[in-house]
Amino acid sequence: MRHLIFLFIFLFSTSTVFSQERREKIKLDGEIVTVLITETDTILIADLDEMSVSSPRQFESKDDYRLYLKYRRYANKVYPYAKQSIRIFREVEEATQNMKPKKRKKHIKKLQKEYKEEFKGTLKNLSKTQGRVLITMIERELDTPFYDLLKGLRGGFVAGYWNQLGKLNGYRLKEGYIVGKEPILDAVLQDFDISHEL
């Protein structure tokens, strides 16, 4: 009986605490946030980014596991470049959709010069495998072979040149991203969201 009375008092006291709560918007470090204010506490309410939770991956061998870790490390390194590349591509696509071909080409060439200086050092220091992971991330997100992207932005000659250079390094830009061709790389890329909406 004593336990029942204690439980009743506890439930009654917690219900009165929760009934006295209110939500307010306040400015915190220059940002407007929602807070939950009770009689005893103030709680910051934050919206978190989406995240996926999956079970640990199973691999057939230790070599596959090592390859997975290697691709994961490389994907972490090139992720910011892939995300920024997608953003730039979407913005260029949006800005140039109503331009005449000559004006579009001139605009793209101007942007290329600007971005070339910004990314020149960092992208040149990537290994072949890191570059391939970067290209695969971009192809996967845009659902277009890198060759077609280059051809649309820079022309057929430039796309052909980079395709031949890619062949020398074991990567065919015309093929694009094929799901299932490299299951370990597919598993790594599932963990990265590089989408960009305008």
Cα-trace Rg, the chain: 26
pLDDT in tens, 3-35: 545 544 555 555 444 557 788 887 877 777 787
Q: How many CB atoms lie within 10 A of CB 170?
A: 9
Q: Are 60 and 53 in contact (CB under 8 A)?
A: no
Q: pLDDT category, 70, cuts 50, 70, 90?
A: very high
Helix (H) or strand (E) holding 86: helix 62-96
Percent of the chain with pLDDT over 70: 83
